[in-house]
């Protein structure tokens, strides 16, 4: 078997196998898999409105994914992405709730900047804990996720609660001026924000592949001890990778409140940060692959919300499929390493 | 499987106090063994035949294909083509366990034992033929007594010396019924007396029917031990011969002619380029550096038992660790708190002994390595970096391409890449065992490169376990022992034996 053929085969096989298993599950519970596929696809792409829903779910996910590609390149497990996303939502909410009398574009811009800044603060804490005190970024990240979540609940039920009394459901909605303007009624997507996302993808791609910083990041991620001896400022690499990721996740969080909810709610992230980790793992930390897979995930998740109504099937079927894909990919990677990869000369 | 069981059973049931007969001596035939790594042919149609009871030296420079061939024979790697015949049967094992079942065992350069296990636990590891711990203990005692090994069954393996770990591995392989024993560079890292003991053990084993393959680039070991030799070059057998042959003749078949070490030169000790004071502490040592000064154009060799502080010293003079209560000066400027990365700009360079663990980066190409050190702008000009890499590849005769990942290169070529990354006119080169694991030819090539830089004014500090090398290249020698550094200013006044005594603490 030739090398490229092998690569293609090992990319497609796990997806095929997990689709097959999911199809079997659907048959076992007494439904037609083709019908399910049809429903999911039409739920995602059936109309421009549903496509808009997919894109709006995809955007914060994609921001996180882009950020995680950066931290993965630096060899970091940024579990704290969830907290960085939530912090972004809190930062943007502050601007939405308490800043007044700004022209709309400037106001929104300020909200995005506040979101990015808040995300950076969280990632800065995690990275300083790591570089200065030697606390693994996974522990720091998990702790910050919990902290930021609790803090958002405190804000919603405390200082930021609506004047009519706290239901702990949400803050009061932001003024309309700071909501993102949809492209149209039928396609409710903010094009400038989409532009911002594409700009960030391009920026990160250039940073990683064409700058000294990106190369140093790669060296730090692959072997910090060697990187140090080759003159790489490894602490600075770690710190800056975290900061960039925090800013990107913060922009994703800002999108959650400025576009989707128009207020701050508990669990504002909806697990998007963790989903982003999964996506980046699947994509092997390759930027464009990751962004693409994020879109497919967003489509399946958004599309499957209609399953319940139409077929009495739980929408968590999409999660089952996702879990299966991850397991299968890991399994097939293992098989490939075990049986197909050549051992290397030494 | 039955073979292992019966062989191992044989060992424990018939105490080995009198004779260590190898049951069923074995003839091994390699037919057209071929192995490729990408475009590189590591083994090219190798045909060899080994008769039992003989010690065969497998020789060749780094990258000649010795290790690959031994890995194939011992089941660590499958061959791409060719056959292995044991007596009149073709062998089809696919892993080391399978090879051991067929009677082929390999003693790795770093013995593959489990540090957290006791000697006894390692001994029974993977051996299903020892029914009880008591029997295993008995069997271990018999074999160790037979060869005069000092192995306490209850000692932790992590506390053993390399020589003892080798003994343990030999004993373990014997109990598994191995009839062909492969040893990869067994004499690196063990003392002269331990070497004598190992050699007498091997001779004894051979006398009793064991076939022994000795992979080594230490020619004197081969001369002392082997009955025949096979020399590999570029993946092919270029020479096979019955011993005795002198080391000089062997070296010629391996490399052609060897260059002599450089003539002595004189060092002008006026202004030091580097000074270091302070304490260096580590696991079991606390070395006081009163005032070390390094001069331009000088080579200083560091010797001492492993872990006596040489590694810390090499790192301290390059700013990688801070001397306690002391200072580091570079060209009379205080650089105690300057990180290594900044000192690099002053021409200071540290090279660690573990090439791929510390120094090179697995998963990155040669061009990326070059770019890390040479591209100083915000953005990287990949074309420029690639051209420079190509130039260096030709200049340093590296077998690889600019886009090759570093781990696809052989050890010797990785070392060449590391040297190619050194600045052309460094101030201070601090090198940890720069020729470790390299054959004579590669080592002398490395020294040519270092000498060129020394002549351009670099001060070189290096450590080495090869005392010959230290004596040949050093202008001064620092001996590390028991927290003290003894300076030998006139290298011509000492020889290898004297240096050996000093390392062990002799007055």
Question: What pLDDT digit, counting tens, does each position of B264-279 carry?
Answer: 777 778 888 998 888 8
Same domain membership, residue A335 and residue A240: no
| Structural domain includes residue B414 | no
Q: Check pLDDT > 70 for residue B1.
A: no
Domain limits for position A195: 58-312
Looking at residue A252, its pLDDT comes to 95
Same domain membership, residue B75 and residue B207: yes
| Structural domain includes residue A51 | no
The H or E element spanning position B218 is none
Domain limits for position B496: 272-347+424-503
Looking at residue B221, its pLDDT comes to 83
Q: Would you place residue B206 in the very low, low, confident or very high pLDDT band (cuts 50, 70, 90)? A: confident
Q: Would you place residue A168 in the very low, low, confident or very high pLDDT band (cuts 50, 70, 90)? A: low
The CATH number covering residue B226 comes to 3.40.50.300
Same domain membership, residue B278 and residue B150: no
> Which has the higher per-residue pLDDT, B299 or B36?
B299
Closest by Cβ to A212, choosing from B361, B362, B377 = B377
Same domain membership, residue A308 and residue A342: no
Same domain membership, residue A133 and residue A211: yes
Residue B186 vs residues A289, B191, B214: alpha-carbon distances, Å: 48, 11, 8
Same domain membership, residue A222 and residue A188: yes
pLDDT digits (tens, 9 = 90+) for A255-287: 999 988 888 988 888 889 998 998 898 887 889
ipTM of the complex: 0.83
Do A222 and B364 make contact, defined as CB atoms within 8 angstroms?
Answer: yes
Same domain membership, residue B199 and residue B317: no
| Structural domain includes residue B262 | no
Same domain membership, residue A326 and residue A307: no
Query: Does any CB of chain B come closer than 8 Å to the CB of residue A203?
Result: no
Same domain membership, residue B327 and residue B187: no
How far apart CA B6 and CA B445 sit, in angstroms, is: 50
| Structural domain includes residue A41 | no
CA dihedral sign, ordered A46, A52, A57, A62: positive
Closest by Cβ to A225, choosing from B357, B411, B421 = B357
Same domain membership, residue B337 and residue B188: no
> Which has the higher per-residue pLDDT, B323 or B314?
B314
Query: Does any CB of chain B come closer than 8 Å to the CB of residue A346?
Result: yes
Same domain membership, residue B465 and residue B323: yes
Same domain membership, residue B28 and residue B168: yes
Same domain membership, residue A206 and residue A117: yes
Whether B27 contacts B199, CB under 8 Å: no
| Structural domain includes residue B139 | yes
Do B37 and A345 make contact, defined as CB atoms within 8 angstroms?
Answer: yes
Same domain membership, residue B166 and residue B64: yes
Same domain membership, residue A15 and residue A104: no
**Which of A14-18, B260-264, B326-330 has the highest mean predicted lDDT (pLDDT)?**
B326-330
Same domain membership, residue B298 and residue B331: yes
For A236, counting Cβ atoms within 10 Å of its Cβ (0-12 exposed, 13-18 middle, 19+ buried), the class is middle
Same domain membership, residue B53 and residue B156: yes
Q: How many domains does chain B have?
A: 2
Same domain membership, residue A125 and residue A106: yes
Domain stops at, among B221, B255, B289: B255
Give the mutation candidate from B347, B361, B377, B399 for the A interface (greatest A CB count, under 10 A).
B361
Q: Check pLDDT > 70 for residue A125.
A: yes
Q: Would you place residue B3 in the very low, low, confident or very high pLDDT band (cuts 50, 70, 90)? A: very low
Same domain membership, residue A279 and residue A291: yes
| Structural domain includes residue A40 | no
Q: How many domains does chain A have?
A: 2
How near does any CA of chain A get to the CA of B498, in Å? 35
How near does any CA of chain A get to the CA of B338, in Å? 13
What is this structure's pTM?
Answer: 0.73
Looking at residue A95, its pLDDT comes to 93
Same domain membership, residue B209 and residue B143: yes
pLDDT digits (tens, 9 = 90+) for B411-458: 778 888 988 888 888 999 999 888 877 777 788 888 989 999 999 989
How many DSSP H helices and E strands does chain B contain?
A: 17, 20
Closest by Cβ to B358, choosing from A211, A225, A345 = A225
Closest by Cβ to A211, choosing from B350, B368, B379 = B379
Same domain membership, residue A154 and residue A233: yes
> With contacts defined as CB-CB under 8 Å, which chain A residues touch B378?
211-213
| Structural domain includes residue B416 | no
Find the mean pLDDT for residues B210-238. 84
Same domain membership, residue B303 and residue B250: no
| Structural domain includes residue A38 | no
> Which has the higher per-residue pLDDT, B246 or A233?
A233
Q: Check pLDDT > 60 for residue B224.
A: yes
DSSP calls for A85-101: HHHHHHHHHHHHHH--S
Which pair of structure tokens corresponds to residue A160?
A: 């930021």
pLDDT digits (tens, 9 = 90+) for B145-203: 887 787 888 888 777 777 788 888 888 888 888 889 998 888 766 777 778 888 888 88
Q: Check pLDDT > 50 for residue B291.
A: yes
Same domain membership, residue A321 and residue A281: no
| Structural domain includes residue A335 | yes
């Amino acid at each position: 078997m030739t090398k490229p053929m092998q690569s293609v085969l090992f990319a497609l096989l796990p997806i095929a196998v997990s689709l097959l298993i999911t199809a079997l599950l659907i048959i076992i519970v007494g439904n037609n898999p083709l019908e399910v596929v049809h429903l999911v696809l039409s739920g995602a792409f059936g109309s421009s409105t549903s496509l808009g829903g997919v894109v709006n779910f995809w955007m914060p996910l994609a921001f996180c994914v882009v950020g995680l590609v950066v931290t993965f390149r630096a060899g970091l497990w940024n579990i704290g992405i969830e907290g960085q996303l939530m912090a972004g939502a809190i930062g943007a909410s502050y601007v939405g709730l308490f800043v007044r009398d700004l022209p709309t574009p400037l106001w929104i811009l300020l909200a995005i900047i506040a979101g990015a800044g808040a995300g950076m603060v969280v990632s800065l804490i995690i990275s300083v804990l790591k570089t200065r005190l030697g606390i693994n970024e996974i522990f720091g990240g998990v702790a910050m996720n919990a902290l930021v979540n609790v803090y958002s609940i405190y804000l919603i039920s405390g200082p930021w609660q609506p004047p009519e009394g706290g239901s702990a459901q949400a803050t009061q909605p932001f003024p309309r001026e700071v909501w993102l303007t949809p492209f149209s009624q039928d396609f409710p997507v903010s094009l400038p924000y989409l532009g911002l996302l594409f700009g960030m993808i391009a920026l990160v791609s250039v940073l990683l592949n064409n700058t000294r910083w990106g190369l140093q990041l790669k060296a730090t991620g692959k072997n910090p001890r060697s990187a140090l001896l080759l003159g790489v400022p490894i602490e600075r690499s770690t710190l800056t990778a975290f900061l960039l990721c925090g800013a990107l996740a913060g922009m994703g969080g800002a999108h959650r409140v400025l576009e989707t909810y128009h207020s701050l709610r508990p669990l504002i992230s909806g697990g998007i940060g963790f989903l982003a980790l999964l996506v980046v793992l699947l994509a092997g930390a390759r930027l464009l692959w990751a962004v693409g897979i994020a879109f497919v995930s967003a489509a399946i998740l958004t599309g499957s919300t209609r399953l319940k109504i139409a077929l009495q099937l739980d929408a968590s079927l999409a999660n089952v499929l996702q879990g299966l894909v991850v397991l299968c990919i890991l399994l097939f990677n293992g098989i490939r390493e075990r049986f197909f990869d050549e051992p290397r000369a030494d | 499987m039955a073979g292992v069981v019966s062989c191992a059973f044989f060992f424990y049931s018939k105490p080995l106090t009198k004779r260590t007969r190898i049951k069923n001596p074995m003839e091994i035939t390699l037919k057209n063994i071929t192995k490729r790594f990408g475009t590189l042919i590591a083994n090219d149609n190798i045909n060899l035949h080994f008769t039992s009871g003989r010690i065969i030296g497998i020789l060749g420079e780094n990258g000649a294909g010795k290790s690959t061939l031994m890995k194939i024979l011992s089941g660590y790697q499958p061959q791409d083509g060719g056959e292995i015949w044991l007596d009149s049967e073709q062998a089809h094992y696919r892993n080391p366990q399978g090879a051991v079942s067929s009677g082929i065992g390999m003693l790795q350069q770093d013995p593959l034992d489990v540090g957290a296990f006791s000697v006894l636990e390692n001994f029974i590891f993977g051996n299903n033929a020892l029914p009880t711990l008591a029997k295993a203990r008995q069997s271990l005692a018999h074999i160790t007594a037979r060869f005069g090994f000092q192995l306490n069954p209850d000692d932790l393996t992590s506390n053993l010396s390399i020589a003892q770990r080798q003994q343990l591995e030999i004993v373990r392989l014997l109990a598994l019924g191995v009839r062909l024993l492969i040893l990869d560079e067994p004499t690196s890292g063990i003392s002269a007396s331990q070497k004598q003991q190992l050699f007498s053990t091997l001779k004894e084993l051979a006398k009793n029917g064991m076939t022994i393959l000795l992979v080594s680039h230490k020619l004197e070991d081969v001369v002392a031990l082997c009955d025949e030799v096979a020399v590999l070059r570029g993946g092919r057998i270029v020479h096979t011969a019955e011993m005795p042959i002198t080391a000089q003749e062997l070296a010629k078949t391996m490399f052609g002619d060897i260059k002599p070490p450089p003539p002595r030169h004189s060092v002008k000790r006026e202004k030091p380029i580097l000074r270091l004071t302070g304490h260096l502490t580590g696991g079991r040592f606390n070395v006081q550096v009163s005032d070390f000064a390094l001069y331009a154009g000088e080579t200083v060799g560091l010797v001492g038992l492993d872990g006596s502080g040489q590694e810390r010293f090499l790192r301290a003079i390059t700013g990688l660790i801070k001397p306690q209560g002391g200072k580091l000066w570079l060209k009379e400027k205080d650089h105690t708190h300057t990180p290594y990365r900044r000192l690099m700009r002053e021409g200071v360079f540290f090279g660690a002994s573990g090439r791929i663990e510390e120094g090179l980066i697995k998963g990155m190409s040669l061009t990326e390595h070059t770019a890390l050190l040479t591209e100083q702008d915000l953005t990287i000009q990949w074309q420029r970096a690639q051209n420079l890499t190509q130039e260096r590849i030709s200049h340093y005769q590296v077998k690889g391409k600019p886009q090759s990942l570093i781990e696809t290169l052989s050890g010797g070529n990785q070392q060449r890449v590391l040297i190619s990354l050194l600045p052309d006119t460094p101030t201070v080169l601090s090198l940890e065992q720069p020729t470790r694991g390299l054959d004579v030819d590669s080592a002398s090539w490395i020294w040519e490169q270092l000498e060129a830089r020394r002549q351009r004014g670099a001060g070189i500090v290096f450590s080495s376990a090869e005392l010959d090398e230290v004596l040949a290249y050093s202008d001064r020698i620092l001996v590390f022992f028991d927290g003290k550094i003894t300076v030998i200013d006139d290298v011509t006044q000492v020889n290898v034996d004297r240096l050996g005594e000093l390392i062990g603490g002799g007055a």
